[in-house]
Amino acid sequence: MLKRTWFVAVLAVASTCGGAPDKTTAPRDVDDLRATPPPAVVKTNAAAPKPIESPTPIAPPGKLVLPEQSASVFGDGFHSYQVRDEERIFAGPRTSDKEHVGYLSARARVVVKSLGTKTSDCQWMELEPRGWICARGEPSTLPPGDETAPALWMPRYDRRVFKDEDDVRANGGYVPAQAPEIVRSFKQKFALEIDRKKYLRTTTGELVPATAVPKYWGDEVAGVAVEGNLELPVAWTWNHDDYKKPTRIRAEPSRRGKVVREIALRSRVDVLEERAGWARIGNDEWISRRDLRIARVATPPAEVTGTDEPWVDVTLNEQTIVLYRGTTPIRATLVSTGRKKYPTPPGLYRVTKKTMVTEFKSPRPDLIEYHIKDVAWAMHFTDLHAMHGAWWNRGFGANVSLGCVNIPSADIRVIYEHMEPKMVPGWWQTVATADNPGSLIRIRR
């Protein structure tokens, strides 16, 4: 039995990544897609809208612009409400409501539309643009947001992790250090100075000395923005026989051809010509087609009806992903999909939820055991499969995952910000709904 365990401390939103039968509705086969008619246009007799006196703020792709916090809720000068603890966002003002539309991390700031019933434990609040929380906290003069940085990690080793400020001053009762594989996400703007020393607050509220936190920004693999003079196809070098060794360049398109040089794995090259299983990248320089990963232009599925609609195309045989808006490619990079025993299922899907940082646990620890808590920028498309960052992955370009689509750290956030459902400032997780649907994910061979 394979055992692989990583431990971290983050918001406890557990997920899985392959390894068991999918409980969701089976996707349609990519080769048998049928066009979906666009939604009907509803005509109304409403009066023309009044001119906007001031320009509307421009939000990043896939992110909502919220109205300002109403002064009638908390008074003048307050721009948001800061929750104290992690909070689940309900569809209505009742905790018995099984449907939820998102999550908030501890100390996140949100825009409150109105106040509801106050209980002995908390205050019900209606949020912009949707959802209800029953929370404790306080109004804030800061804008809505969440300063969690999923890519800032800390190896625990022999470090002290304190429960709170009193614990720091008491210099005791700290959380004992564990195995060196433990890493953390931090809220960068929630740094505290205690006795002239700087501490960072983790997503679960603990404090860590800032001097004990080296920055680790994940893997060194990065895709490319398809803009300017760069067009698809885009190619990276590979090594079919051993993906840990450099790629051989030969003088002619034959395995018997003289090796003229070797090039580092995953180097980007221009394909000038393709011939009988070989690709020419320069004068008298040929690479076996098996030793290349190529991202090519693809026709959108019929379900992509908007000229600016975001969607992604994942090619299993090439281990690549291309982000599109309509027919325009935006970014291309290498991925790692599921290995032979835990394949990533081909099909046409929609993003069901987006989570800034989540936790993955094995659904079948008797077969394969893993526990990774800091999984950044996750976009689920089934109960058991997601596209997400993979800071631990050193094999991009190879199908080495447990069923999910692993994406390099430098690329996943770009894709996350373009894909829908639209993220709400301050929300840790956003769930797709009929009014805020998820973007299309096409996975094909």
pLDDT class for 47, splitting at 50, 70, 90?
very low
pLDDT class for 9, splitting at 50, 70, 90?
very low
- So what's the pLDDT on residue 315? 98
The residue among 210 and 167 whose pLDDT is bigger is 210
133 and 88 Cβ atoms separated by less than 8 Å? yes
The residue among 149 and 276 whose pLDDT is bigger is 276
pLDDT class for 165, splitting at 50, 70, 90?
low
How confident is the model over 106-115, as pLDDT tens digits?
889 999 999 9
- So what's the pLDDT on residue 381? 98
- So what's the pLDDT on residue 163? 57
pLDDT at 56 over 50: no
Find the mean pLDDT for residues 158-180.
53
- So what's the pLDDT on residue 312? 99
- So what's the pLDDT on residue 367? 63
- So what's the pLDDT on residue 130? 92
CATH number 1.10.760 is the correct assignment for the domain at 80-140: no
Domain 2-23+296-444 sits in which CATH superfamily? L,D-transpeptidase catalytic domain-like (2.40.440.10)
312 and 301 Cβ atoms separated by less than 8 Å? no
Structure tokens at 432: 């797709």
What is the spatial distance between Cα 235 and Cα 260, in angstroms, rounded to a whole number?
A: 20
How confident is the model over 93-106, as pLDDT tens digits?
887 766 789 999 88
Q: Give the number of other Cβ atoms within 10 Å of residue 241's Cβ.
A: 10
State the sign of the Cα–Cα–Cα–Cα dihedral 314, 319, 320, 321.
positive
- So what's the pLDDT on residue 78? 94
Structure tokens at 235: 């190619």
- So what's the pLDDT on residue 167? 63
Pick the range with the lowest mean pLDDT from 19-33, 152-166, 243-257, 295-309. 19-33
pLDDT at 368 over 70: no
What is the spatial distance between Cα 18 and Cα 341, in angstroms, rounded to a whole number?
A: 10
Find the mean pLDDT for residues 186-213.
65
State the sign of the Cα–Cα–Cα–Cα dihedral 135, 413, 128, 94.
negative
Task: Compute the chain's Rg from CA coordinates.
Answer: 24
- So what's the pLDDT on residue 112? 95
**Torsion, Cα of 215, 221, 225, 231 (10° steps):** 170
pLDDT at 360 over 60: yes
Could you check whether 80-140 and 235-292 share the same CATH topology? yes
pLDDT at 143 over 80: yes
pLDDT at 178 over 50: no
By residue count, the chain amounts to 445
390 and 358 Cβ atoms separated by less than 8 Å? no
The residue among 376 and 273 whose pLDDT is bigger is 273
271 and 294 Cβ atoms separated by less than 8 Å? yes
- So what's the pLDDT on residue 62? 77
Q: What is the mean pLDDT of the chain?
A: 78
Closest CA to 140 of 74, 81, 77: 81
Closest CA to 184 of 158, 148, 146: 148
pLDDT class for 169, splitting at 50, 70, 90?
low
What is the spatial distance between Cα 80 and Cα 263, in angstroms, rounded to a whole number?
A: 52
Q: Which CATH architecture has domain 235-292?
A: Roll (2.30)
pLDDT class for 67, splitting at 50, 70, 90?
confident
pLDDT class for 68, splitting at 50, 70, 90?
confident
Backbone angles phi, psi at 31, to 5 degrees: -75, -5
Find the mean pLDDT for residues 48-59.
46
338 and 238 Cβ atoms separated by less than 8 Å? no
Strands (E), 195-319: 197-202, 207-209, 224-225, 234-237, 247-250, 259-263, 268-269, 273-275, 278-282, 285-288, 292-295, 310-315
pLDDT class for 162, splitting at 50, 70, 90?
low
- So what's the pLDDT on residue 418? 96
- So what's the pLDDT on residue 148? 59
pLDDT class for 220, splitting at 50, 70, 90?
low
Domain ranges across the chain:
2-23+296-444, 80-140, 152-212, 235-292
How confident is the model over 302-348, as pLDDT tens digits?
999 989 999 999 999 999 999 999 999 999 999 999 999 899 999 99
pLDDT at 245 over 70: yes
How confident is the model over 390-434, as pLDDT tens digits?
877 888 999 999 899 999 988 999 999 999 999 898 899 999 988
pLDDT at 376 over 90: no
285 and 412 Cβ atoms separated by less than 8 Å? no
